[in-house]
Amino acid sequence: MTKPSFVYVTYIATTPEKVWQALVDTDVTRKYWSGLTTDCPVHVNVSDWRPGSRWEHRRLDDAQTVDIVGKIVESVPPRRLVLTWARPSDAEDDAKHSRVTFDIEPHGDRLVRLTVTHEDLERDPQMLAGISGGWPKVLSNLKTLLETGHALPQSGGAQPA
């Protein structure tokens, strides 16, 4: 078993069900999947979230550009979601996929521990560099959205509606 290449743990004042919904509902994902800057487009995650199904990380631009693709490995609402992660050009080559696990655990009364583990990144140093800066921004934005009802403001531009 390889060691995880990236692990992020955060505590969110919400319920496991709301964290799960935020991970799989496109209307919610568009609110927090942004880079918090105007040069990073807003994204949505699209799938039926069943094991074996494809998922896509799509830009909300005119072309609906797909930046990341993968397959759902495990889906246990509202506790665990595991998916593969790859560039669209590498979609058919499983050896080039990394793996993301979202573990959602109740922690006391109305507090959730969310652990995101992104593994198998040693094959792609550029992807590791990108997600090392990206995951903290996305997950901070998710936490803020779930706790306040509003995503963090983008610097240098308007916040997506």
- Tens digit of pLDDT for each residue in 134-144? 899 899 999 99
pLDDT value for 43:
87
pLDDT at 149 over 90: yes
- Tens digit of pLDDT for each residue in 80-123? 999 999 999 999 999 899 999 999 999 988 899 999 999 999 87
CB contact at 8 A, 15 and 112: yes
Which strand ranges, in their side-by-side order, compose the sheet holding 112-119? 6-12, 112-119, 98-106, 80-85, 66-76, 54-59, 43-46
- HSE value, Cβ hemisphere, 13 Å, CA-based, for 137: 16
Which CATH number do you get for residue 112? Answer: 3.30.530.20
pLDDT value for 155:
62
Domains in the chain, number: 1
| Residue 158 domain-assigned (yes or no) | no
| Residue 56 domain-assigned (yes or no) | yes
Q: Between 60 and 75, where is the model more confident?
A: 75
Rounded Cα distance between 34 and 108, Å, is 30
| Residue 25 domain-assigned (yes or no) | yes
| Residue 134 domain-assigned (yes or no) | yes
Confidence class of residue 158 from pLDDT cuts 50, 70 and 90? very low
Domain with 50 in it: 6-148
- Reduce the DSSP state of residue 73 to 3 states and report it: strand
Rounded Cα distance between 68 and 60, Å, is 13
| Residue 159 domain-assigned (yes or no) | no
Confidence (pTM): 0.89
Preceding peptide of 106 cis, ω within 30°:
no
